[in-house]
A and B are shown apart, each in its own frame.
Chain A
Amino acid sequence: MGLARATGILLGKELRTELRSRELVTTTAVFVLLVIALFSFTFDPSSAESRRFGPGLLWLAFLFAASLMLQTCFLREQANDTLSGLRLCVGDPFAIFLAKLAANALFLLLTELLLLPVFSVLYNLPILRVWPSLVLVLLVGDVGICLTGTGMAAISAQARMRELLLPLLLLPLLTPVLIASTEATAALLSENPVLRWDWLGILLAFDGVFLTVLWLFGEYLLEE
């Protein structure tokens, strides 16, 4: 079976199980909502401060929320050893990663799209005029977070202290994504909005490198 077909079948499974439980999107959305609301209450930002700190705060919230969300993606497969079941059936284990990556990026993007209007109101930052560019930055940034996060989640799921291990592995690795996403978002939310292709290029390069790493070494991450 081809990689694309196996990935499609597995992605369908990921979406179906999440649609039934709604655990990931709900908990991630509530977490991000709490973070951005609490920050807005604590320092009551003016418009200039919001432009300066808002994008970084937003991406930090997304990053922490993603580390919570990604934690479960391989732990769920351990409940009944379903990961072994998948490994027995899927010719190319990369399909398992691709499906989880696509599902995680989709869930994270959905959460962000739900919460951006709340962020816009609380921080008084207009987002409607830059909406398409902002979605592009979110998408490329999310893929970077989920690519690294899915690989690290596969490692941490097999370790003791797994709840602590994933953020410890993930957050330092995602520093380039955090910086580039924040800068690209800040440029879009500035008084003279512009899509910064240089930062977007860094994000795309990061995505390309980690996708290649996952393709080359993903099989070993799934082994017992």
Chain B
Amino acid sequence: MTLGDSAVGLRCSQLEKRFGNLVALRRVDLEIAPGETVVLAGHNGAGKSTLLRLAAGLTRPTSGRVFIGTAEVREPGSARAVGFLAHQTMLYDELTAKENLVLFAKLLGVPEPVRRAENLLAEAGLGERGDSLVRTFSRGMRQRLALARALLSRPRVLLLDEPGTGLDAGGLAWVAGTLHELHRDGVTTVMSLHSQPELAAVATRAVRLQAGKVAADSAAGQALDAVLGMGAC
């Protein structure tokens, strides 16, 4: 993938995903411009997580295509351009927080992986617990560490599946602050949310999914709050 400094967005073209008889996404067309911070809203089972996993390249679409920048997802080299925070933490309980970050940083080819891990731990408020095993962490601490893992490679596209899960007020403020900074740096962010107005406030656009289809999009002229359901996304 060729990455321009700020020229990386996300595009879904006629994207469809079926699990047996269940249609999770129905021919979704969605274009997200570079630097946008988009909230995916919708009820449970609307297709938000499926859309994010397809964009991360973890699942193959039944039909249709996903592009990060100009490159179709699954092409070699897309991994470093995309940071993904899934519903599960993707962290090893038997490793310490620092070991987890260093492991993934090395696999991503991040320069100076130890320093990068230490910096992110400090930013996430986990600097003191870097040498503690992840299995001793609370859900909120794991979530902070998982977000730090997603940020390791300084991705140009960030996909976050319910980033506020398990976070206290301090954690939510840290995530919101981080999202503000990323937006300022031109990073494209797509996140699914459930009732976290602190994070929804960061959004520049909202898209509501319903039964696997785009039901509303603030880019189509609707008010952002109306698409989000006034904080009850």
Contact = CB atoms under 8 A, between A and B. Distances in A.
Interface stretch (A57-65, A88-96, A149-157): A88-96
Contacts of A1: 107, 109
Given A87-B58, A88-B57, A88-B79, A80 B93 contact: yes
Contacts of B77: 91
Central interface residue in B57, B79, B107, by most chain A CB within 10 Å: B107
Nearest to A6: B107
Interface string A117-158: 000000000000000000000000000000000000000000
A84 B92 contact: no
B79 A84 contact: no
Interface residues of B, number: 29
B107 A80 contact: no
Contact of A80 (B60, B76, B91): B91
Central interface residue in A13, A89, A91, by most chain B CB within 10 Å: A89
The 10 closest A-B pairs by CB, nearest first: A85-B90, A81-B88, A89-B107, A17-B94, A224-B59, A80-B89, A89-B108, A1-B109, A9-B106, A80-B88
17 contacts: A1-B107, A6-B107, A9-B103, A9-B107, A10-B107, A16-B95, A17-B95, A80-B89, A80-B93, A82-B90, A84-B58, A84-B86, A84-B90, A89-B107, A89-B108, A224-B53, A224-B59
Interface string B51-79: 00100111110000000000000001101
A217 to B, nearest CB: 15
A82 B92 contact: yes
Given A21-B94, A80-B93, A224-B58, A85 B76 contact: no
B104 interface: yes
Given A1-B109, A9-B107, A89 B79 contact: yes
A160 interface: no
A161 interface: no
B117 to A, nearest CB: 14
B209 interface: no
A183 B76 CA distance: 45
A85 B104 contact: yes
A16 B91 CA distance: 14
A17 B93 CA distance: 9
A88 B82 contact: yes
Nearest to B83: A88
Interface in A38-92: 79-82, 84-91
